[in-house]
Amino acid sequence: MTEGSVPVARRHGHIRWPGAAIGLFLSGAAAAGAQSLPPLTEVAGDPARGEALLRDMGRASCLICHEISQLDEKDMGEIGPLLDGVAERYDAGELRARVADARTLNPDTMMPPYYSLDGLAGVARAYRGQTIYSAQEVEDVVAFLLTLTDEAAQ
């Protein structure tokens, strides 16, 4: 059939990260289902930029599948868990691991890998070889997620 297609039965490969440098400091952590990831860049994430990115429908928005009650958005998705208070449940490293590649936690996840090219097949030309987010964009979104405390949800 199509070249490079990955049948579901074989869809959980191990994690390969774009960029040799990033691969270097991830080796070890990524190998056995990383639950936590160290920062991807040296520049701290910016929560305001993260919020804007997360709400941008043209950028494979998290809100396609998740709801965050405090955001003034209509038609948020209900595929994934409610993200209210998510900062109480996970620290920065754990959130980063989920955004970068949720398959490290659940190989069958429906959540797209925002910062991994591992195992992708049949990608449209315009997006080939690119991750959904850049490393800095992952940092920004994680910084925003860290503001989602129980208090913020009130």
Residues numbered 70 to 89 that lie near another protein (CB under 8 A) are 74-79
With respect to another protein, which residue has the nearer C-beta, 89 or 128?
128
Q: Applying CB under 8 A, which of residues 28, 72, 124, 154 lies at the interface with another protein?
A: 124
Asked if 19 interacts with ligand HEC (CB under 6 A), we say no
Alpha-carbon distance of 96 to 48, in angstroms, equals: 17
Kindly give, in sequence order, each residue whose CB lies less than 8 Å from that of residue 19, ignoring residues fewer than 6 positions away: 135
Kindly give, in sequence order, each residue whose CB lies less than 8 Å from that of residue 42, ignoring residues fewer than 6 positions away: none
Kindly give, in sequence order, each residue whose CB lies less than 8 Å from that of residue 30, ignoring residues fewer than 6 positions away: 14, 15, 17, 37, 104
Q: Applying CB under 8 A, which of residues 23, 127, 149, 150 lies at the interface with another protein?
A: 127
Q: Which residue has the tokens 């449209």?
A: 124
Alpha-carbon distance of 29 to 152, in angstroms, equals: 31
Kindly give, in sequence order, each residue whose CB lies less than 8 Å from that of residue 1, ignoring residues fewer than 6 positions away: none
The binder of 78, among ligand HEC, another protein, none, by C-beta within 5 to 8 A per type, is another protein
The binder of 106, among another protein, ligand HEC, none, by C-beta within 5 to 8 A per type, is ligand HEC
Residues numbered 80 to 119 that lie near ligand HEC (CB under 6 A) are 80-81, 83, 86, 89, 95, 98-99, 102, 106, 109-112, 114
Binding mask of the shown chain, residues 44 to 63, with x at each position contacting another protein by CB under 8 A: -------------x--xx-x
Three-state secondary structure readout of 50-73: HHHHHHCHHHCCHHHCCCCCCCCC
Q: How far is the CB of 18 from ligand HEC (least distance, A)?
A: 16
Positions touching another protein (CB under 8 A) are 1-2, 5-8, 11, 57, 60-61, 63-65, 74-79, 110, 112-113, 119-127, 130, 132
